[in-house]
Structure formats: C-alpha cells, structure tokens
Amino acid sequence: MTTASIIIPSYRGATRLPRLLSALAAQTTDDWEAIVVVDGDVDGSEHVISKYSHLPIRTVVFPENRGRVAALNAGHEAARGDVLIRCDDDLEPAPDFVANHVASHSSRRQGTIGLCVNVLPRTRYSAVYGDHFGKLARNHAYRANPDGTWRYWAANVSVTRDIWQQIGTYDPHYRAYGWEDVDYGWRLHKAGIPVVIDPSLETKHHAAAVTAAIRAARAFRSGQARRIFDSLHGTNAAGPAAPEAVGLWNNAVLKTSLVLDYRRTIAMARAVDAIIHITPTPIARKLIALVVEAAVVAGHRSPENPERDF
C-alpha cells in the first residue's frame, strides 16, 4: 500500500496546478500518490494534469461544480494511502512536504496542521495589510493553546486512515465557501485527538485574496458559513461571532457591520482599494482591517443564503 495519499480539491485550477504538481515531482520520497479532484472542468484542468502522467497522479472529474466538501470527500474515498494529506491547489510544497507529514504520524495518533505562508504580488494591498496580517495570523497560531489549535485546520493538513474512518467525511452541510475545515478540526478535538501545528510543514500559499475587495468578500462568506457551524455545534464552540462592544475599535467594527450586506461589502472594500495608494500605511491598514472584520460580523448576521463565488 502507498504510504501517503495527497488529496487535491481543485476548481478553476488550470493555472495553479502546474506549480503544485511540479513541487510534488521534487519530493524527497516517492512513496506517495496524488488524487486531483477537478470540481467541474471549466478551464481545461484535466488536460493540464494529463501532462504530468509520469507522476503517480489520478484524477476524479466532476461533470459540474459540486463544491469543496464534495471534492474533498471524493478524494479521500479514492485514496489508498495510510496517511491522508489535504493539499489545496494553490500551495507550493517544499521537497520534504510529504516526508514531514508522514513523520508527524509516526509516534502517536494526531491531526497535523502545516500553516500557509501567503505569497502575494507586490501591491499596495500586500504592503500595508496582506503581509502584515499573514504574519500576525501565523504568530497567533503558534501561540495557541493546544485546546484551540483545531481552529487552524485548513488547506495543509493530514490524518491517518484510521482517524479518517473514525471521524468521518467533511460535512456536506457546508456547500458554499468556508468553515468545512474548521468543522473537521472541531470534530477531531471533540474526539480527543490532538491537533498539532507542525512548524516544519509551513508551506507557500499563492493566495487569491490580493485586494481588499477579494479579502472582504471571503470574510463575508466566511461569516455566513460560521452560522452553519454554530447550528451544528452550538454558539459557544468557536467563541463569539462578533466582538464585544468595548473600546473604540470594536464599536467601529460593529457599527460598520450594521450597514453591510454582501453588495455593500464589495463596494466599500473597492473604495478602500481605490484610496490606499494615497493613504499613509497605518491608516490604510486600519481601513482594510475595518471592512474585513465588519464583513465577518455582517455575514454572520446576514439573512442571505451563502453562495459559492470562488
């Protein structure tokens, strides 16, 4: 049996997959397989993958877009390995990626997380917010209490086959963007399985959120998906969905969220994108943070049904 199976959900991934598959070709171990699940081939992704037929790659191609949860579950079902590694198609793994994931499961049963290091184009957005926020988020994750690391379950994670069989599939309630991964981390935690962040597995992430507008749109959809998590696991499982009305910043976030729906979130974020080029860095950073944080709260409060935009 193959030691490691790499499950790659991919939607509109034709331009991203060559970088990922080339990185997998450079792995220090050859005891792996990859299953690329093409979630509706609208851009020639299957043809791109066919150029890597010299690698141990199999494909599952959906005739239409079914969403990330369906893709993840199909990939895990098709996997033959003992260690199951989720690797999103916008990652660029280091040569020891597979070996380090496998090694993390050698001594105990655990869920393993590798954090993603965003690689962003050199724009005003990345200079004032994207790089800064990414560094803060990683630092916060590494300082997290072991009881809270499950919140970081995301694009670069692994479990053993027996854990997958114990926990079950990603939950199909999550049909749009976000929180299917946090949900899985929570279920690992509730089952008493340690969730460990492994610094050796930090991986380059060629992030799609390269403007305030894209970042805010994802924040809004994430807030909507959080409602599903709360309905399944209770409102206390992941902590408060909105900040307490204490302090000038929290009040600004809450008041801004009251005027936002999805359309207004995009409009406000685009306005921010338009002015950060002429705004001092500290102010520009605050403006982006305000619209992003308010978008999360507004999305959670929104009566709109979540939609799959990306």
Position 307 scores a pLDDT of 75
**Are residues 157 and 176 both part of a single domain?**
yes
Which amino acid, 48? V
The answer for residues whose C-beta is within 8 angstroms of residue 89's C-beta and 6 or more apart is: 8, 9, 10, 13, 16, 17, 20, 36
On the 0-12 / 13-18 / 19+ scale of CB atoms within 10 A, 262 is: buried
Last residue of a domain, one of 179, 205, 231: 205
**Are residues 65 and 193 both part of a single domain?**
yes
Q: What is the pTM of this model?
A: 0.95
Question: What is the number of domains present in the chain?
Answer: 2
The answer for residues whose C-beta is within 8 angstroms of residue 81's C-beta and 6 or more apart is: 1, 2, 3, 4, 5, 32, 33, 161
Position 1 scores a pLDDT of 60
Is residue 104 in a domain?
A: yes
**pLDDT average per 10 residues of sequence, the chain (310 residues):** 92 97 98 97 96 97 95 97 98 98 97 97 96 96 97 98 98 94 98 98 96 97 96 92 90 97 98 98 98 98 80
Last residue of a domain, one of 184, 205, 226: 205
